[in-house]
Structure 1
Amino acid sequence: MGARTRRFVAMVGVLVFLSGWIWGAIAIRGLLPPSQVIDLLVFAVAGIGWGVPLYPLFRWAEGGADRD
């Protein structure tokens, strides 16, 4: 698979993942009692945490083991 195709697949994967991630963060926030502190904690964790599960996809899109 070419580099451009890998990057396109990764882009689509990121968009799908982030749609679910954002929906999940909002759904989790809706289950908790109203509080500005809880808002801060939930959305801070969601805002920082999205990159960790996507890291392997980013590596794959840039060539991963193919770059050697």
Structure 2
Amino acid sequence: MVDLTPMEFDILLLLARRPGQVFTARQIYEAVAADSFDAGWTGISSMVYKLRRKLGSDIIETVRGHGYRFTPE
């Protein structure tokens, strides 16, 4: 069991529903946090970093210059 914040869970769910698809930080923000006052879209990289620390570094891949994608084992 992994303890995730609601936003971390929403990001993981978004990525996991479309494994292999690359999402930009802005797309992730607009899908999961646009109504939140807690973070701007530039804070998504911080959330992804926290997810990697909790789930393992290989589960979310950074596609340099494009965004992030879920890479299941």
- Shared topology, TM-score over 0.5? no
The structure in which a higher percent of residues are helix is 1
**Greater share of residues in strand:** 2
Give 1 or 2 for the bigger CA radius of gyration. 1
TM-score by length of 2: 0.29
